[in-house]
Structures are given as C-alpha cells and as structure tokens.
Amino acid sequence: MIAPIEGFSKLTKEEKIDWIVTNYTQHPESAKTLLKRYWNTDTDIQKLHDEFIENTITNYFLPFGIAPNFLINDKLYAIPMAIEESSVVAAASKAAKFWSDRGGFKTTVLGTEKIGQVHFIFEGDSEKLNSFFERVKPKLFIEISAITKNMKKRGGGISAIELRDKSEQLPNYYQLHCTFETLDAMGANFINSCLEQLATTLKREAQNHTEFTTDEKDIEVVMSILSNYVPNCLVRAEVGCQVSELSDDPKKATAFANKMVQAVTIAKVEPHRAVTHNKGIMNGVDAVILATGNDFRAVEAGVHAYAARNGSYTSLTDATIENGIFKFWIELPLALGTVGGLTSLHPLVKLALEILQKPSAEELMQIVAVAGLAQNFAALRSLVTTGIQQGHMKMHLLNILNQLGASNVEKNTLTNYFKNNAATHSAVVEAFENLRKQ
Ligand code: MEV
C-alpha cells in the first residue's frame, strides 16, 4: 500500500512529479515524459499556469475553436469555444449560419442582480430580531462602504439587505439576504467580502443590543457566501421566422416546425429528456464560459436550479408556432464577468474577449445565451430530422481514426468513404482494417 505523503505542496514541481509517477504509475519514465510534453515552452506562460492552482504538474489542453457568423442584434460575432466534444463547434456554426440568413439572434438582458447571504442562528423572539435589524440596517450599509466605495462610484454596489426568517424550514435559522450589482465583474470576491463584514457587524451589534436577552445577543453566524442561484441575473435570446422560411419545401417546413415544438414540449414535461436537452444547451454555454475565463461550475449549478424553479426539472428553451411564425427562445440566469479573475490573467482568455470585441458582462451574457440557444437548435434539428448520429459520427470519425493510428492518406480515403456510409465505430474499424489489408 502507498504511504500517505506529508507536505506534498511544499515539494518542487519536479519532486511532485517524481513522487506521483513513482507511486501511482506503471511506467514512471514515460509518464514523466508525457507530463513534461504538455509544459509550455514559454516559461512565463508556464509559470502563470503553474500558479493558477496548487500542486500543478502539467497543463491539460482543451481545443479552443471558433464558431463564426453569429448575427446577434445585427452585429456579427465569431464566438470562441473551449470544448473537447466533437461536433459542438460545427453544430453551433451551422445554427449560426442558418439564423444569420433569417434575421439573426435577438437578445435582451432581463436583470443583473447578484445575491449573497449571511446564514445565522438566532435563538429568541423573532419580533425583537426584526426591530433590531431595522435599527442596525443603516450601520450595516455604513460598515461595508469602504468595500463598496469603488463599485458604487461605477454605478454598482449593494442594493438591498433583507432579513429573512427561515425558522419554519430549520429552527432558529435566519438570513441576511443581500442583492448586489457588480457591473462587469462576476463579483464573487466583492460579494463575499461585503458579506463577511456584514456578519461581523451583525454579531457585534447584537452583543450590544440592550433589548436582547443573553441568548438572543449570541447570534451564531454559520456562514457568509454568495449564491450561485441568480434568477434575477437573467438574459433572453430568441430567433424567429415564418414557418415557410424553415425549408425550401413548404411541407417539410411545416413538419419541421411542428416537430421542433414537439421536441421542446417533450423536454418541458419529461425530466429525463429535459436533462439531455439542457445538457446540449450547456455544450454551447460552457464552451464560451470556459473560453472567456468564467466559472462554468457556478453557471451549471445556477442554470440547473433555474430549470427546476417550479418544482420539476424542465426545458430551458421554449418554442411556439403562432400565425405562421416559428419562435424559439431561451432564458438563462448567468452571472458572468469580463473584468477581474482569469479575464485579465489568462492570455487566451484575453484573446477570446478581444475576438468578442471586448464585451461588457451584459454583452457576454447575451453571447453565451445565444451559444446555448444555437446549440439546442442544432441538436433538435438533427434529432427530429436525420437523427443525431449522422453528424456526431462524422465528427467522431477523425477521433476514431486517430485512435487507430491512421495516416493522413488513410484518413482522407476513409473520410471520403464515410461521406456515403454510416460511420459507426465498428464500421470505421472494419473499413480501416480492410484498407490496411489492401
Ligand atoms: C450531446 O452532447 C447533446 C445532445 O444529446 C443534446 C440533445 O439531445 O438535445 C445531442
């Protein structure tokens, strides 16, 4: 059995690598070589990446691709996407092209409110807590003013502090539920710093509040943290056109529009389908979130909570046909930043933002929502027409051929062959073996 290690984080990078490859790999030398092959030859770039996290031993690459031709509110974007899944960028590009010929995407930011909470336990009379809160509220605002000063100057800051009684859900549980405007910053550090100051003020003022009993004075702050559930930091993206514009063949156009609406309706009423439907949306969303240095875990958590906001998990997109018009739209809660964090540190993130014409956080929300909508449109379009495997396997063909060690000539031959043949995994292997036998 491998013994636990003390002080791993204090080892040098070389020592960490030696320890891990010796103790956990079958071929330490080749593992070490592999790890080093992924180092950047530019030592400054490598150092930057080393310092993003603790215990870095190498880099983990994801493809960084571009989906061009996104017409959003009459402005043309090329969207950077960081993702490993074959066919996502191709699908986004196809949907972008399709809709750019039909008026493009229209987007609206419906809200930009962020949320943070101080969770605390108060054992006593809730009426007394209410009047204490009203009295202490101005002080709460004053004592965070040093933190909020700069944000306020730019038009942001803390917009409200509410006392919320949660004692029906959990005995003696209350919150300071706070709303923030963080402009172009995602705002996590800003919000958390404000909350921790609010918690300190709350505790201290409770101790000094003469109308409280000894127990009541002893407010126990459990934690102070932003919420990644941001239903009022919301963006809407939509596309629409005459049903007849969906295909050159009028019969096909109507059938396609109906099937698209049916597919969305199924995802609205059936959670198993809704999860996969929304997963496809997140293919687009996460890829842009990653490329622009935002926190995809936060977005994922918030988006899925939003999809379940009415008590059952449902589709994030919607579609209708009314008076001969097909409409397809999405609403997504997205707390994003285009300043701070990785956005000013990671060279590729900076480039991604430059490619997007240096968007504000609100503009980035709109671009991300469009990427999600486009992805869903492309997935449903395949699903209700050809089936998903045709497109998927075409893109996956190259992965299979690479796995098989095909040469460039073999790849060309087999790519041509599979233009007219179903590219299942076994068919590709068989065709490859046959080619080698020739
Ligand atoms: C695959 O990554 C995404 C899809 O499954 C989405 C969908 O089914 O809507 C194709």
What mean pLDDT comes out for the span 249-266? Answer: 97
- Rounded to the nearest whole angstrom, what is the distance from the C-alpha of residue 368 to the centroid of ligand 1? 17
Task: Write out pLDDT tens, residues 296-338.
Answer: 999 999 999 999 999 999 999 999 999 999 999 999 999 999 9
179 vs 415, higher pLDDT: 179
Token couple for 6: 């003390």
Q: Reply yes or no on whether 304 is catalytic.
A: no
Active site residue 85: yes
For all residues of the chain together, what is the average pLDDT?
Answer: 96
* pLDDT over 80 at 100, yes or no: yes
Q: What is the distance between the alpha carbons of residues 355 and 102, in angstroms, rounded to a whole number?
A: 24
Output the pLDDT for position 424: 85
Percent residues over pLDDT 90 in the chain: 91
Between CA 107 and CA 331 the distance in angstroms is 10
Ligand 1 contacts (CB < 6 A) are 85, 276-277, 279-280, 283, 379, 383, 388
279 is catalytic: yes
Give the residue, by CA position, lying nearest to ligand 1 atom 2: 280
The CA distance from 25 to 3, in Å, is: 15
For the cut 90, the answer to whether the pLDDT of residue 202 exceeds it is yes
Give dist(CA 371, CA 380) in Å, integer.
14
* pLDDT number for residue 396: 80
Percent with pLDDT over 70 in the chain: 100
Which is the closest atom of ligand 1 to the Cα of 277? Answer: 9
Nearest CA to ligand 1 atom 4: 280
pLDDT at 394 over 80: no
Q: Catalytic annotation on 97?
A: no
Is the predicted pLDDT of residue 7 greater than 80, yes or no?
Answer: yes
| Catalytic-role residue among 13, 279, 327, 411 | 279
**CA–centroid distance, residue 306 to ligand 1 (Å):** 19
The model's pLDDT over 273-304, given as tens digits with 9 standing for 90+, comes to 999 999 999 999 999 999 999 999 999 999 99
> Which of 278, 388, 393 to mutate for ligand 1's pocket (most ligand atoms within 8 Å of CB)?
388
Q: Which of 19-28, 347-356, 408-417 has the lowest mean pLDDT?
A: 408-417
Q: What number does the ligand 1 atom closest to the CA of 267 have?
A: 9
pLDDT digits (tens, 9 = 90+) for 112-153: 999 999 999 999 999 999 999 999 999 999 999 999 999 999
In whole angstroms, give the CA distance from residue 376 to residue 283: 9
Q: Could you tell me the distance, in angstroms and rounded to a whole number, from the CA of residue 271 to the centre of ligand 1?
A: 14
Ligand 1 closest atom vs CA 273: 8
Residue 420: predicted pLDDT: 82
Q: Is the pLDDT of residue 393 over 90?
A: no
pTM for this prediction: 0.92
Of 117, 114, 116, nearest to 156 by C-alpha is: 114
- 404 CA distance to ligand 1 middle (Å): 26
pLDDT band (50, 70, 90) for residue 255: very high
DSSP secondary structure letters along 203-268: HHHHHH-TTS-HHHH--EEEEEEEES--TTSEEEEEEEEEGGGG-SSHHHHHHHHHHHHHHHHHHH
Distance 81 CA to ligand 1 centre (A): 17
